[in-house]
Amino acid sequence: MERILTKELHSHLNQSATLKGWVDVRRDHGKLMFVDLRDRSGTVQLVILPAHEEAYKAAQDIRAEWVIEIEGEVHARPEHMKNEKEDNGDVEIEVTALSVVSAAETLPFERNTEVNLDTLLDYRPLTLRNDRERRIFKVQSEIVNAYRDALRKRDFIEFQAPKIVGGDAEGGAHVFKIEYLNDKTAYLATSPQLYKQVMVGVYERVYSIGDVFRAEKHSTTRHLNEYTSLDAEMGFICDHTDIMDLLSDVLRDIISELKKSTKEVFDDFGVSLPKCPEKFPHMKLKEAQELIYKETKEDCRDEKDLAPEHERWLSEYAKKEYDSDFIFITHFPREKTAFYAYDDPEDEGYTKYFDLLFRGVELCSGGQRMHEYQKLKEKMVWKGLDPEKFEFYLQAFKYGMPPHGGWGMGLERLTQKFLNLENVKEATLFPREINRIDARLSESE
């Protein structure tokens, strides 16, 4: 008999069916045995009776995570036994045959119980099977699908950016150096930025989804050394506000899709979907700093960037004043931004660059990029960079580039804040950070 999935059971009521999956939970009630079987589509309750002697005997040793194959009769549960909160809570299967596909040792913790972060990550191959973790990464998968759909329908083309690069796009120190061929030094990419810009000269509108690497020597609830970056870049813009409008639309599309596909996960986590007004609020960095000083008396007006506590304060302000979980902060100082950030001629010393704050953290950075060859070279020199080391990239600008801009956004941080998780590592399948690859690298966290 051909295998079916648990989600298909309602079309097989009062019929025989074959299922394969993992034992989720086993419960014994006298001579009756109840087993929750889990497959990729959900769970269902099995009833194993002594009357089916061979199946009953084969089931004696099974425990959580054993892989089994069963045949049985699909029945509607008695009315008083139905449970609307469970997968297939209105059906059950009376098992007539059972075979063990793979035995499992006893888990080092009880399934679906809360464990500390170290245990959660040290046993990641096992804890990922928990209902909570499966739901987190189902949401993350839907975010990626919705991101792709939102950009594809706006005529964006996906491309794959290299992860081994000859120079750092951000001009920073937090890079992983690697030995490359012929004893050359290369680096793991901190961003696909330079390649996004090159590809604007090819397709006008491009996006990429891929890993980036930051060699930051700290361990916090919001940082990773490897994460997935959701990037996009678009040509023929008027200024950075075109990018902000597009990003707002993409996020609205993602939230709309999550409402359709995973609303029950947000309900289970006790988290509301983000508030998205028609126009996301925005203010310049200088305006934000003046507001913080006026309202809190904390003077950050001479700072080149926002401190984490000020990002949290501005997020709370946006929620209270604009009923928005998002707020753009624009116009960061020239010294603070990367060499490709477009200088605003009407605001000397500041760039058409933005951060998007979401529920207390910087979710995304982006803005308009410089597109004029000579001015871009001059900005590189001003930043202390050698244009000759970027000749490969500069070819695109030497031979004609339109005004363009884009963003980079962390998938794991987006997932974390959507579901209100305490630590970004909870939203990362296999976290890489200073104290961990798969297992911990030291006892101190």
Cβ atoms of residues 234 and 200 within 8 Å: yes
Active site residue 252: no
Backbone phi, psi, residue 329, to 5°:
-115, 125
Render 301-362 in DSSP notation, one character per residue: TT-SS--HHHHHHHHHHHHHHHS-SEEEEE--BTTTS-TTBPB-TTSTTBBSEEEEEETTEE
Active site residue 365: yes
Between the alpha carbon of residue 193 and those of residues 135, 152, 189, 249, 418, the distances in Å are: 31, 19, 9, 21, 25
Q: In what order do the strands lie in the sheet with 326-330?
A: 157-158, 205-213, 226-235, 404-410, 361-369, 353-358, 326-330, 282-284
Among 129, 135, 223, 312, which one carries the catalytic annotation? 223
Report the DSSP beta bridge partners of residue 350. 333
Alpha carbon distance 208, 151 (integer Å): 10
Alpha carbon distance 443, 219 (integer Å): 13
Among 69, 94, 216, 378, which one carries the catalytic annotation? 216
Active site residue 38: no
3-state secondary structure of 93: strand
Among 214, 282, 334, 371, which one carries the catalytic annotation? 214
Among 134, 222, 312, 432, which one carries the catalytic annotation? 222
Cβ atoms of residues 31 and 52 within 8 Å: no
Active site residue 129: no
Active site residue 362: yes
CB atoms within 10 A of CB 267: 11
Q: For 69, what's the count of Cα atoms within 13 Å in the CB-facing half-sphere?
A: 8
Alpha carbon distance 308, 201 (integer Å): 36
Active site residue 154: no
Among 142, 362, 412, 433, which one carries the catalytic annotation? 362
Alpha carbon distance 18, 4 (integer Å): 6
How far is C-alpha 389 from the chain's CA centre?
A: 33
Element containing residue 188 per DSSP (H, E): strand 185-188
Active site residue 413: yes
What residues contact residue 183 under an 8 Å CB cut-off, 6+ apart? Answer: none
CB atoms within 10 A of CB 155: 10
Catalytic sites, residue numbers: 214, 216, 222-223, 362, 365, 413
